[in-house]
Amino acid sequence: MTRQKLPSPRILPSQITPQERYLSRRSLLAAGLGAGLAQSFGAFSRASAAGAAGAALAYTHDAKFSTSDKPNSYEDVTTYNNYYEFGTGKADPAAESQHLRTSPWNVAIGGDAEVTGSFTLEDILKPLALEERIYRLRCVEAWSMVIPWVGFPLGDLLKRFKPTSKAKYVEFKTLYDLKQMPGERTSVLDWPYVEGLRMDEAMHPLAFLAVGLYGKTLPNQNGAPLRLVVPWKYGFKGIKAIVSIKFVERPPRTTWAISAPQEYGFYANVNPAVDHPRWSQASERAIGGGLFAPRRATQPFNGYADQVASLYTGMDLRRFF
Amino acid sequence: MESAAWVKTTRWVIKPLVFVACLLPALRLAAGAFGVAGVSLGADPVAALLHGCGRWTLNFLMITLCVTPLRDLTHSVFWLRFRRMFGLYAFFYVVLHFSVYLFIDQNGKWNVLWQDIAKRPYITIGVLAMLMLVPLAATSTARAMRRLGQRWTRLHRLIYAIAILGVWHFWWQVKSDIRQPLLYAAGLTLLLGYRVWKRRHAIRRALGARGLAGAAGVGGATDARGQRETLRKA
């Protein structure tokens, strides 16, 4: 089998918005927020119409929920990815995802909610103001990054669909397309990728849906056009290229928990006290520190314990790992 | 028979070239580690180094195990001249692999090593395999070979167990994509399977050559064992 290789629109580090420019964009926004936002949505639809990643977004910086840690370089964030739909190597997603069509993009809303149906990404984004959140990301493989996402709180979107009292969990699904996602032709995981959150987790202000990264639309390898970011959980909870959101009564059967139930649980909260059966979760390698940077101690809930630990009061976190 | 000139060429030209070729993966990793010549190890250089050295350890174990089948297939002892070098390279890469793990990834914390050996089976078998390579590397000299005689051959059969442990060590840590370890396991099965087959074949042939005497009992069995010993020496 040969797959045709088209010239791929790789983003060079030199093409990234310089720090000063995106900072000036922010101050511009502060000056004329309304106008800026209107402009940004125009920019966003134009970008998705062209199918190009990396169009500039307008957003406000959310200092309250952002870490003051220094973000990883754009290059690290966009070349070191776990996205098995495009291959299991860390460099595979950047190489193999460039022809994923992210426009038009529809998300099916279903299950126990008053408002259901298929929505275009533009419909979803229209009433939302984008914000930047600099979050820590801790991978279950014991490495970590700091990433400046652009997006909106997941709860703000979910509320619009008016979930009923039966909605106890939210289930997300990734696109299943054997042509565009070559990794789905292999049996390394059960496709399509499924993730889920308990309703209160999903409504927590830290739970985030990202459409951008470093002030621009998401590159495909980072989950374009819409991905979940749950900073207090291991990275695999952050499902990418979401095409379905469903409100359900029972905990969804999530992909990694299906693949290895003794190793990956539904909750997957970052927890240095509960090791992966095959490796320790007590410490992590911070990506970007170079060869001789010391490992860092992993924090409970990835350092977000103050905000989220109360969600799990009374739960045995060894059992519900 | 090999001509004297050919032996000389092997020794002074081919062998040094092979030596340098075997060193290239390490040089590439080192260049990446120190950012020399534009080589990069990517966003996670520690993992790249760790896995790179581990992978080349397995590669050299496999290459070492290819020598005997190659000799048999080509009816040439040429390959045997490289076996020690390949084996020592496996040892070289495993020492690098272990050092990267302990001194770079774990920042030289020996207590983490002890904990990992005790708690994590894949590390237990990995360390075990490395330790088993130590006596093989130590007895790789011509002098040790002469001194140990028959025992040398028996000792160096440890390589089979080491290779099995090595592939197992790799298999045990991948998250879900077992295709790479499967490839090594398949290669190893082939290489070890060949040896089992050869041995059975040789025994059967030895028995067959002695006709019914072989089946007659004790005498035949002893002969077979004698034949096996001769083969081992080969």
pLDDT of residue A119: 97
Does the beta-carbon distance from A279 to B173 stay under 8 Å? yes
Q: Is the Cβ–Cβ distance between A247 and A161 less than 8 Å?
A: yes
Residues of A in contact with B119 (CB under 8 A): 275, 280
**Rounded to whole angstroms, how far apart are CA atoms A200 and B65?**
57
Given CB atoms, is B44 within the 8 Å cutoff of chain A?
A: yes
Cβ atoms within 10 Å, residue B76: 11
Q: For residues A53 and A217, is the Cβ–Cβ distance under 8 A?
A: yes
Block residue for tokens 């970007």: A288
Contact A280 B116 (CB under 8 A): yes
A276 near B CB under 8 A? no
Distance from the A245 Cα atom to the nearest Cα atom in chain B, whole angstroms: 25
User: Using a CB-CB distance cutoff of 8 angstroms, which residues of chain B are in contact with residue A91?
Assistant: 42
Contacts of A279 in chain B (CB under 8 A): 120, 173
Residue A10 placed within a domain: no
CA distance B173 to A175: 28
Q: What percentage of chain B carries pLDDT values higher than 70?
A: 88
Task: Tell whether A98 is covered by a domain.
Answer: yes
User: What pLDDT score does B83 carry?
Assistant: 95
Residue A45 within a domain: no
Please, is A30 exposed, middle or buried when counting C-beta atoms within 10 Å of its C-beta (0-12, 13-18, 19+)?
exposed
Q: Quick one: tokens of A63?
A: 């200092």
Give the whole-angstrom CA distance, residue A255 versus residue A257: 5
Q: How far is A91 from chain B (nearest CA, A)?
A: 9
CA distance A284 to chain B (A): 10
ipTM over 0.85: no
The answer to whether the Cα torsion of B107, B109, B112, B118 is positive or negative is positive
Chain B CB contacts of A184 under 8 Å are none
The one-letter amino acid code at A297 reads A
Looking at the partner chain, which of A143, A259, A279 has a beta carbon nearest the beta carbon of B44?
A: A143
CA angle (A150, A270, A264) in 5-degree steps: 105
The whole domain housing A154 covers 60-312
Whether A259 maps to a domain, the answer reads yes
Query: What's the distance, CA A107 to chain centroid?
Result: 15
Q: What percent of chain B has pLDDT over 90?
A: 75
Above 70 in pLDDT, residue B67? yes
Find the closest chain A residue to B104 by CA distance.
A292
Q: What pLDDT score was predicted for residue B37?
A: 81
Check pLDDT > 70 for residue B33. Answer: yes
Q: pLDDT value at position B1? A: 55
Whether residue B46 and residue A285 make contact (CB cut-off 8 A), yes or no, is yes
Residues of A in contact with B45 (CB under 8 A): 290-291
In a domain, A88, yes or no: yes
3-state secondary structure of A104: coil
The whole-number average pLDDT for the span B137-159 is 95
Name the average pLDDT for chain B.
Answer: 89
Identity of the residue in A72, A259, A290 whose CB atom sits nearest the CB atom of B176:
A259
A-B CB pairs within 8 A amount to: 60
pLDDT per residue as tens digits for the range B7-20: 889 889 999 999 99
pLDDT at B215 over 60: no
Could you state, in order of their start, the residue ranges of all structural domains in chain B?
A: 4-173, 180-234
Nearest chain A residue to B178 by CA distance is A188
Q: What is the CA radius of gyration of chain B?
A: 21
pLDDT attached to residue A89: 94
pLDDT digits (tens, 9 = 90+) for B156-206: 999 999 999 999 999 998 888 999 999 999 999 999 999 999 999 998 888
For B120-135, the DSSP string reads: -HHHHHHHHHHHHHHH
CB contact under 8 A, B42 and A143: no
Q: Which contacts (CB < 8 Å, 24+ apart) does range A39-42 have? A: A40/A130, A41/A125, A41/A126
Q: Please indicate, yes or no, if residue A147 is contained in any of the structural domains.
A: yes
Number of domains in chain A: 1
pLDDT digit string, tens, across residues B76-105? 999 999 999 999 999 999 999 999 999 999
Q: Which pLDDT value is given to residue B211? A: 61
pLDDT at position A23 is 44
Q: Determine the pLDDT at residue A42.
A: 38
> DSSP letter at A233?
B
Min Cα distance A142 → chain B (Å) is 11
CB contact under 8 A, A278 and B172: yes
- Residue A91 near chain B (CB below 8 Å): yes
Residue ranges in chain A modelled with pLDDT below 50: 1-52
Tell me the shortest Cα–Cα distance from A59 to chain B, in angstroms: 28
Mutate to test the interface with A, among B175, B177, B179 (most CBs of A within 10 A): B175
Helix (H, G, I), strand (E, B) or coil at B39: coil
**pLDDT over threshold 50, residue B229:** no
Say if CB B72 and CB A252 are below 8 A apart: no
Name residue A42's amino acid: G
Q: Is the peptide bond before B181 cis (omega within 30 degrees of 0)?
A: no
pLDDT of residue B214: 47
Query: At A274, which CATH number?
Result: 3.90.420.10
